[in-house]
Amino acid sequence: MNVIGFSDWLSMMGTFAIVLTLLIFTLLGLKKMGPKLGNAYGKRIKVIETYSLGARQKLMLVTINEKEILLGVSPNGVSKLALLEGTEIESDEIQDKALTEPSVKKSSFKDKIAEVLK
């Protein structure tokens, strides 16, 4: 029966560490490049956003020929939920609307109790 010495054990652990490091770098590289692989320039179909609704259901916003389509994806299939055209709102517009609209005063719990007791 062969006895594994300290140097053999150290060599195996070193090799395992190198393989594990290479695996981690490969997975990180694929994760970083993954979204760009399907959205290359010149492609007509692009996945803009994905929102998970559960373990196996999700919403996908897809652009096809300059039109946005909202898709529902489930284990039973894919269904078109809506066709969106010209609905894109910039984040600056949202902030401007929030600043220009009159603010509604939120009453605190203390104020509501005072109103009830009157």
In this prediction, residues 75-94 reach a mean pLDDT of 70
Query: Comparing 101 with 59, which gets the higher pLDDT?
Result: 59
Q: Find, among 31, 28, 34, 32, the residue nearest to 47 by Cα.
A: 34
The percentage of the chain sitting over the pLDDT mark of 90, rounded to a whole number, equals 15
Cα 64 from Cα 25, distance rounded (Å): 33
Average pLDDT of span 99-108 = 56
The residue to which tokens 């300059």 are assigned: 66
**How would you classify residue 77: left for phi > 0, otherwise alpha for psi between -120 and 50, otherwise beta?**
left
Q: In what order do the strands lie in the sheet with 77-84?
A: 45-52, 58-64, 67-74, 77-84
What are 13-34's pLDDT values in tens digits? 999 999 999 999 999 988 887 6
Give the SS3 label for residue 102: coil
